[in-house]
Amino acid sequence: MFNLTTIEIDAFYLTLKVAFFSVAICLPLGVITAFTLSRLNFPGKWLLDGLVHLPLVMPPVVVGYMLLLLLGRRGVLGSWLYDTFDITVAFTWKGAAIASAVMAFPLMVRAVRLSLDTMDRGLEVAARTLGASRTIVFLSITLPLSLPGILTGTILAFARSLGEFGATITFVSNIPGETQTIPLALYNFTQIPGDQTPAIRLLTISVVVAFAALITSDLLARKVKNRLGTKFEADQ
């Protein structure tokens, strides 16, 4: 039962690759966006806030179709990317990573922003009275103290990417070895009547990956908590 076929192995590695790059896109942009929304005031802030949250409230298929219109070979951005850099994202694994990143982005921003909003802003002021510039304050105080939120955001984004289906299948289709991640492969198998073993194998892989991610995040969270010394905060 556990002799994996090429399709399944490909799907497994592809899923991890897509999720990894999706998080890699989400993380820096998400932290910057969360900081912008939490700390800065500027006209049109509501618009940015809305745009960031759009993928959370729209059907994933709609998001995928919008991505296709925007980033497809003949799309506004897509044709420019192709003409200038010879890059194609539609119907490639890069496109799958982008689709996952867009779907995961609001989760990342929300988690980081929550942690920035609840942070004691007085600590940042205190750091400035000690001679630290805004940049130093961000790097040495704000960022380390929002680590729990960043970690939560990363896990949520990673999980969201592992499970991304609607936007992916619409934007980059279901091509084995290129864009067929585990959920897409599983969908394929369930469409074929007969032997359920391949589908169940994929299901098992899915559960194992998800569990591994959960355990890793738990270990990391504990480490961060110890470093921030929050263990004793409850007694005060």
In whole angstroms, what is the distance from residue 35 CA to residue 121 CA?
13
The answer to whether 136 and 127 have CB atoms below 8 angstroms apart is yes
- For residue 227, the minimal CB distance to another protein (Å) is 6
Does 126 participate in binding another protein (rule CB under 8 A)?
yes
Does 230 participate in binding another protein (rule CB under 8 A)?
yes
Residue from 127, 155, 162, 185 binding another protein (CB under 8 A): 127
Task: Give the helix ranges, DSSP H, for the chain.
Answer: 6-39, 45-57, 60-71, 76-85, 93-118, 121-129, 134-137, 143-145, 147-163, 166-172, 182-191, 197-228
CA dihedral (150, 152, 154, 158) in degrees, to 10, reads -170
- Our CB check for another protein shows the closer of 15 and 142 to be 142
- Our CB check for another protein shows the closer of 109 and 141 to be 141
Residue from 28, 44, 122, 194 binding another protein (CB under 8 A): 122
The answer to whether 125 and 134 have CB atoms below 8 angstroms apart is no
Does 139 participate in binding another protein (rule CB under 8 A)?
no
Does 135 participate in binding another protein (rule CB under 8 A)?
no
- Our CB check for another protein shows the closer of 86 and 235 to be 235
Which residues of this protein are in contact with another protein, per CB under 8 A? 120, 122-123, 125-133, 140-141, 144-145, 227-233, 236
